[in-house]
Amino acid sequence: MHFHRRERKGRRDSMFKLLKIKRIVSHREHRDTESIMQLNYLSSKIIQAAINVHKELGPGLLESVYQVCMVIEFKYMGITVRSEVPLPIFYRGQRVHEEGFRLDLLVENTIIIELKSVEKVQDVHKKQLLTYLRLAKKPLGLLINFNQAMLKDGITRIINTPPESI
């Protein structure tokens, strides 16, 4: 008889542990969902800023012109942005190059924006942004090519998927 009570208690403890794990997972999922919603909201604001700049200036200017105008637009919108952010390169924990790359724009210390003004975005441009995302450990990047008649055709969203989730 004592054996059955212990067995039931063991099952009950296991069930409570399982429920606790599910609660933790659902809390993480909620936090992840919130984070995704914030990224989506911020990226929509970034796209709106780019559309505003593109409507005003049109296609065909230098990348550097669009970059300055995007900074002005973000400041007008109350969004924190840094321009020409140095991205050092590390290898096996050692700094190899102080300024291996420069990020065109870093918005709210979260989203990297790579600006282009080219006839056609190439795969190498997308790979470049993905490399920046991985090195900077940022979740999302937007590749914006201003040399399009319709800016929406020049926007590519790149997500940095951590290796453990693949």
Number of folded domains that form the chain: 1
Per-position DSSP letters for 117-161, written without gaps between them: --SS--HHHHHHHHHHHHHHT-SEEEEEE--SSSGGGGEEEEE--
pLDDT digits (tens, 9 = 90+) for 3-39: 555 555 555 555 444 444 444 444 445 457 778 889 9
Domain residue limits at 46: 2-165
What tens digit of pLDDT does each residue of 128-166 get? 999 999 999 999 999 999 999 999 999 999 999 866 544
CATH number at residue 131: 3.90.320
pLDDT in tens, 38-72: 999 999 999 999 999 999 999 999 999 999 999 99
Q: What pTM, to 2 d.p., does this model score? A: 0.78
